Amino acid sequence: MNTVRWVASLAALSVCLLAGIPPVAAQTPRRADPQVTRTSWGRVTGRVYDADTGQPVQGALVSVRHGGSFADSGRTAGKTDEFGQYSVQAPLGRVSENFDLGRALSSGLAGILLGGATNRTKRIDVTRLDLRVVASGLQTYSGPAACRTASADRFSVVMEPILLAREGSPHVSAVADGWGAARMMSAAVTPEVAPPGSEITIQASARLPLANPQRAVSVVCQSRALGKKRMTWVSTDGDVAKFEITLRAPKVRESVGDVVTVMFDQCPLDIAVGGATQQAVVQLVADPAERDLAERRAEAERNERRRDLMAALQSWRAVCEHPKATSDDCRRLSNVAGRLNEHTLAMSALERAITKAPERARPDVIGDYALALVRAGEAQRVISAYAPLVESRTGPARRQRTSIPLLVAVGQSYVATGALAEARRVLDELHEWPGPLPAEAIRFRASLRLAEANQRVRAESTPAARLHLARVLMDLGRWEEGLATAGRQDRTEAVLGSEETAFALRQVIPPSSGDVRDLDTAVREAESAAIVQDGNKMLKSKDFRTWHAYAMLLYRRATRAPDGGDRDADVRRSVEALEEAVRCGRAGAFVNEGVYAGPIGYASARLVAVTGFAYPEAAWDFVLMESLRTLSAAPTDEYALMNAASALVELMEYDSAHPLLERLAVIRPDDPEIAYLRAVAAYASGDRDAAMMHVDASLRRNPRHPRARLLLAQMQADVGNIADAAAAVAAHQAIYGALDTGALTTEVTP
């Protein structure tokens, strides 16, 4: 027996057990599948700042981890410029090309030489990278960083900003997701009421930690009446820069409140969430006799900006009493009245708005009124009054005299009265309108889908119909109803397989360790759903949720199996299932057919660009898949351990994440991100005291943590400490500006 090899094998097994991950037996590595492997290099950019001052750090060395290490030179490393920006390279996904015979036949020789017969596919997989940032006098950052934006077309990603703490500081360097050094702080127009030809001054202030903003920053103001103008930098006080421009008020046909938007046109720094623009309103007077109306509008606008809705209601009432009040004035009154639950006043204001609206704008106002009727339960009234109006208009005039809100109101009314075929016709027409559909149209589509599923169950009462209804309910986030519909209480009559049931259950009940024997059954059921036998053929499912749930169950069983079990095989199968999930979970492709230049045919390649994934879980599946691959070869790789733990927490696999987090707490005891992840896992398991301890540890080391204060606010609100919860949210907003909960919070199911 080879003693050295035996000792080495025993040491590797011990390391695996200490790391809290199932050991993977030595094996000949599979050939990398380019469909689920990052093989092509692209550009990585981002910025580095001083955590204390917010100023960009020049000369910091930034490197991307590649091949298990950080380099000090080469394409994976680079230094920051005067604006703290770096540019390096890393494998981001895959770029592939193939020859297209059809395009070649429709192109001349010149077109072929220009690449017109080429199909080029660019696919970006990465959502985070491991970075190391080193700067003199500042603490080094070394760990994962998320991508802020990605572009498959340019094959590049922009990373979230990194804040470096000073040496000797009690705080640590960290990534600040969603943070921005620059923020537009205020906008004002003087005077607020301006007759034609009078001078108006537009002023703006912005947080810009730059010594000379004039050279690198461009701020513009834009409005319907004034157009787009570049503003002039006036002065800088601390890190607050002031911009200004003086214009002449234009002539207008009727008095109107002109919304002036001040925005960054060019800025070399990261801009805070919600901090790119500010707005002010100037009342442009067409006739001196209307100055009183303009002053009433200005007062109403001031009250709304102060969020004094009662005063705003009275002000807009005064505006609408003026004989020259416009349709927009009445709509503003209706909006404020609706927010104060003054529904009768809101409806009457919309009725007046319809009579005052110009013909081109009338369909939109009618649509708002019809939607208000739907919300008031007057569906039949909407059908009687407006369905004939909608149905009678055909051809080009239909879109000119109809609006999306009106179509949505009629469609919702059909749903409410059970006329689902008519509602489906309305939805089909909405899908033909150019541009993205607004939120009310999406809600109409969801309500119609649910109504159709319920109608099918009433008509058929078959397992297939109940399965469809269960899936619709789960798609709408109504997990308990979906599970009940699927027959969760009676497994013999369940119409959902374990792959979907397991996913839905995690939305209602946090995953628990459970019995390995139960997991055996769940894994077998999930496998039968993922790989279906069709005669003599074994077909793979194309459903992302199926493969995702199968992968989670396999890894969960691997972490819970007793010593000596076949855990390594389960981990390998979990990685294979994750690969299938990643394939099924990609985002839709953007296709550019290229330039067609007449006589020479296609003069550029056909580009297919795929950026990221269609599901948040798919993005984390890719992270987990790569991490498990790395850990199979290097079980103590702290970066892979951290990425795997982060993915498992985000996927709500808290029990599976627990051993990784415990190991990481030993390797990186002062890392605030690990403390935050432990807090999320503890909170989800119901251990509020442990969660609070870990949140405090996270904020003590990184008071700018992008999610810890929001978790703290949630925990305080759960026990009725509303003042403390509000204080935590306010502290978060003081650092990050507008609260973007979708981007900054982790969903937790306590």
Q: How many other CB atoms are there within 10 angstroms of residue 735's CB atom?
A: 15
Bridge partners (DSSP) of residue 333 are none
Tell me the average pLDDT across 337-357. Answer: 90
What pLDDT is stored for residue 288 in this prediction? 82
What pLDDT is stored for residue 604 in this prediction? 67
Bridge partners (DSSP) of residue 734 are none
CA angle 476, 479, 480 (to 5 degrees): 135
DSSP-assigned letters across all residues of 710-730: HHHHHHHHHTT-HHHHHHHHH
The answer for residues whose C-beta is within 8 angstroms of residue 540's C-beta and 6 or more apart is 530, 531, 532, 580
What pLDDT is stored for residue 26 in this prediction? 43
Answer whether 0.85 is exceeded by the pTM: no
Among all chains, which residue has been given the structure tokens 């770029």? 95
What pLDDT is stored for residue 108 in this prediction? 63
Q: What fold does the segment set 616-744 form as a domain?
A: 1.25.40
Query: Does the pLDDT of residue 622 top 80, yes or no?
Result: yes
Q: How many other CB atoms are there within 10 angstroms of residue 334's CB atom?
A: 27
Integer distance in angstroms from the first to the last C-alpha of the chain?
A: 52
What pLDDT is stored for residue 113 in this prediction? 65
CA 716, 721, 724, 730 dihedral sign is positive
Per mean pLDDT, which range of 86-90, 231-235, 399-403 is the poorest?
Answer: 399-403
Highest mean pLDDT among 468-477, 595-604, 740-749: 468-477
CATH of domain 39-96+125-175: 2.60.40.10
What pLDDT is stored for residue 18 in this prediction? 42
Cα–Cα distance, 498 to 491 (Å, whole number):
10
Cα–Cα distance, 118 to 98 (Å, whole number):
6
Cα–Cα distance, 581 to 531 (Å, whole number):
13
What pLDDT is stored for residue 10 in this prediction? 37
Does residue 75 sit in helix, strand or coil? coil
Phi, psi (5° rounding) for residue 263?
A: -150, 160
Per mean pLDDT, which range of 488-497, 573-582, 599-608 is the poorest?
Answer: 488-497
| Ramachandran class of 377: left when φ > 0, alpha when ψ lies in -120 to 50, beta otherwise | left
Q: What is the helix (H) or strand (E) element at residue 236, kind and residue range?
A: strand 232-237
Phi, psi (5° rounding) for residue 464?
A: -65, -40
Per mean pLDDT, which range of 105-119, 290-304, 607-621 is the poorest?
Answer: 105-119
Cα–Cα distance, 415 to 327 (Å, whole number):
30
What pLDDT is stored for residue 573 in this prediction? 94
What pLDDT is stored for residue 661 in this prediction? 96
Cα–Cα distance, 572 to 631 (Å, whole number):
11
For the chain, give the mean pLDDT: 84
Does residue 581 sit in helix, strand or coil? helix
Phi, psi (5° rounding) for residue 149?
A: -140, 160
Q: Give 463-470 contacts, CB < 8 A, sequence gap 24+.
A: 463/495, 464/495, 466/495, 467/495, 467/496, 470/495, 470/496
Cα–Cα distance, 330 to 327 (Å, whole number):
5
Cα–Cα distance, 443 to 463 (Å, whole number):
27
Cα–Cα distance, 661 to 675 (Å, whole number):
9
Bridge partners (DSSP) of residue 222 are 228, 261
Per mean pLDDT, which range of 101-105, 424-428, 488-492, 515-519 is the poorest?
Answer: 488-492
Residues belonging to the chain? 750
What pLDDT is stored for residue 638 in this prediction? 95
Per mean pLDDT, which range of 342-346, 403-407, 452-456, 487-491 is the poorest?
Answer: 487-491
For the chain, give every domain's residue range: 39-96+125-175, 180-286, 616-744
616-744 shares the fold of 180-286: no
Query: Does the pLDDT of residue 330 top 90, yes or no?
Result: yes
What pLDDT is stored for residue 400 in this prediction? 58
What pLDDT is stored for residue 631 in this prediction? 94
CATH class of 180-286: mainly beta
Cα–Cα distance, 285 to 298 (Å, whole number):
12
Does residue 183 sit in helix, strand or coil? strand
C-beta of residue 413 within 8 angstroms of C-beta of residue 380: yes
Cα–Cα distance, 345 to 314 (Å, whole number):
12
Cα–Cα distance, 414 to 648 (Å, whole number):
44
C-beta of residue 589 within 8 angstroms of C-beta of residue 609: yes
What pLDDT is stored for residue 461 in this prediction? 78
Tell me the average pLDDT across 171-179. Answer: 94
Per mean pLDDT, which range of 103-117, 226-240, 296-310, 522-536 is the poorest?
Answer: 103-117
Cα–Cα distance, 255 to 329 (Å, whole number):
11
Query: Does the pLDDT of residue 105 top 80, yes or no?
Result: no
- pLDDT tens digits along 245-269: 999 998 888 778 889 999 999 999 9
C-beta of residue 157 within 8 angstroms of C-beta of residue 124: yes
Cα–Cα distance, 294 to 285 (Å, whole number):
7
What's the pLDDT band for 640 if we cut at 50, 70, 90?
very high
| Ramachandran class of 341: left when φ > 0, alpha when ψ lies in -120 to 50, beta otherwise | left
Q: With CA atoms as reference, report the closest residue to 84 among 34, 133, 121, 40.
A: 133
Per-residue CA distances from 11 to 4, 570, 629, 664 (Å): 11, 21, 20, 19
- pLDDT tens digits along 217-251: 999 999 998 999 999 999 999 899 999 999 999 88
- pLDDT tens digits along 679-724: 999 999 889 999 999 999 999 999 999 999 999 999 999 899 999 9
Burial of 264-284, coded b for 16+ CB within 10 Å and e otherwise, reads: beebbbbbbbbbbebebbbbb
Q: Residue 96 is encoded by which pair of tokens?
A: 């592939």
C-beta of residue 284 within 8 angstroms of C-beta of residue 298: no
Cα–Cα distance, 525 to 519 (Å, whole number):
10
What pLDDT is stored for residue 481 in this prediction? 78
Tell me the average pLDDT across 90-94. Answer: 94
Q: With CA atoms as reference, report the closest residue to 663 among 18, 14, 16.
A: 18
C-beta of residue 735 within 8 angstroms of C-beta of residue 707: no
Query: Does the pLDDT of residue 505 top 70, yes or no?
Result: no
Cα–Cα distance, 526 to 546 (Å, whole number):
7
Does residue 323 sit in helix, strand or coil? coil
Cα–Cα distance, 409 to 349 (Å, whole number):
18
The answer for residues whose C-beta is within 8 angstroms of residue 218's C-beta and 6 or more apart is 230, 264, 265, 266, 267
What pLDDT is stored for residue 553 in this prediction? 92
What pLDDT is stored for residue 140 in this prediction? 97
What pLDDT is stored for residue 114 in this prediction? 63
Query: Does the pLDDT of residue 59 top 90, yes or no?
Result: yes
C-beta of residue 313 within 8 angstroms of C-beta of residue 321: no
Does residue 683 sit in helix, strand or coil? helix
- pLDDT tens digits along 431-452: 888 777 788 888 899 999 999 9
- pLDDT tens digits along 404-416: 888 899 999 999 9
Query: Does the pLDDT of residue 29 top 70, yes or no?
Result: no
What's the pLDDT band for 536 if we cut at 50, 70, 90?
confident
What's the pLDDT band for 30 if we cut at 50, 70, 90?
low
What pLDDT is stored for residue 600 in this prediction? 67
Q: With CA atoms as reference, report the closest residue to 440 among 465, 396, 409.
A: 409
What pLDDT is stored for residue 695 in this prediction? 96
Q: Residue 129 is encoded by which pair of tokens?
A: 């990278």
CA 345, 347, 350, 351 dihedral sign is negative
- pLDDT tens digits along 140-150: 999 999 999 99
Q: Give 29-35 contacts, CB < 8 A, sequence gap 24+.
A: 33/579, 34/94, 34/96, 35/94, 35/579, 35/583
490 vs 243, higher pLDDT: 243
What pLDDT is stored for residue 619 in this prediction? 94
The answer for residues whose C-beta is within 8 angstroms of residue 276's C-beta and 6 or more apart is 184, 263, 264
